[in-house]
Amino acid sequence: MTISVILADDHQVMREGLRNLIEQQEDMEVVAEARNGREAVSLCAEFEPDLLVMDVAMPELNGMEACRRIRSECPDVRVLALSMHADRQYAAGMLGAGAGGYVLKDCAFEELADAIRRVASGRTYLSPEIESVVVRDYVQRLSGDGGASAFSVLTDREREVLQLVAEGDTTKQIAARLHVSVKTIESHRQNIMDKLEIRSIAELTKYAVREGLTSLH
């Protein structure tokens, strides 16, 4: 069976290089290319490919938000993140948004081809460098050595509220969703801000993305 692929990267040279390499594989076919995140979302809805290979740093709509929308609107489309950043912030953001894999741009093509096949079949793939970062972070969280993370300082309900705030829900919407009063949500939000020493919704949102506290769609 041929794996249908959409490529999303704002650099034309990168897209052309990836297309040439992918189409050398007998079991893969590039059906479309996107230059930004919004285009990637639109093309996935139009072509319904098996897999989207997408750069994390996309113009107009970032890779994390694009991935989140695609996994919500086109749940059968798998997403493989492609990035030059080997750090937890980007990896956690993309995996939290629903990506099935995370590969570094400087990887060998054999690794990328393997990642495409694995993610397209519903499995997970992380470049070795990313895998070590994710595992190390997980161990730090378990041991309590990871600093003031959301997992160590916030309650389950506070993390839930933080996630909904980051996703743009209003206080009324969150209260209705969690079946509590508006005052209760306001109290939770204040507690979150006090514990994290954050004073604005914008900073709360950045923090939630950085910690990977986004919905898995």
Average pLDDT of span 52-68? 86
pLDDT given for residue 153 in this prediction: 82
At residue 81, the pLDDT reads: 95
Predicted pLDDT at 156: 75
Residues 91 and 69: beta-carbon distance below 8 Å = no
Are the C-beta atoms of residues 162 and 212 closer than 8 Å to each other? Answer: no
Q: What is the mean pLDDT of residues 62-88?
A: 88
Q: Is the backbone of residue 212 left (phi > 0), alpha (psi -120 to 50) or beta?
A: left
Return the pLDDT at 151.
Answer: 54
Interaxial angle between packed helices 63-73 and 37-47, expressed in degrees from 0 to 180 and rounded to the nearest 10? 20
**Domains and their CATH numbers in the chain:** 3-137 (3.40.50.2300), 150-210 (1.10.10.10)
133 vs 103 pLDDT, higher one: 103
Does residue 126 sit in helix, strand or coil? strand
Average pLDDT over residues 4-19: 95
Mean per-residue pLDDT, 156-175:
86
pTM above 0.75, yes or no: no
Locate 141 and state its tokens: 């969280």
Q: Is the pLDDT of residue 145 over 70?
A: no
Q: In what order do the strands lie in the sheet with 3-8?
A: 28-34, 3-8, 51-55, 78-83, 101-104, 125-126
Residue 77 has pLDDT above 90, yes or no: yes
Q: What is the mean pLDDT of residues 99-114?
A: 90
Distance of CA 216 to CAs 12, 26, 36, 80, 109, Å?
A: 30, 32, 22, 15, 28
Q: Which two tokens stand for residue 164?
A: 């909904």
For position 61, what pLDDT does the model report? 77
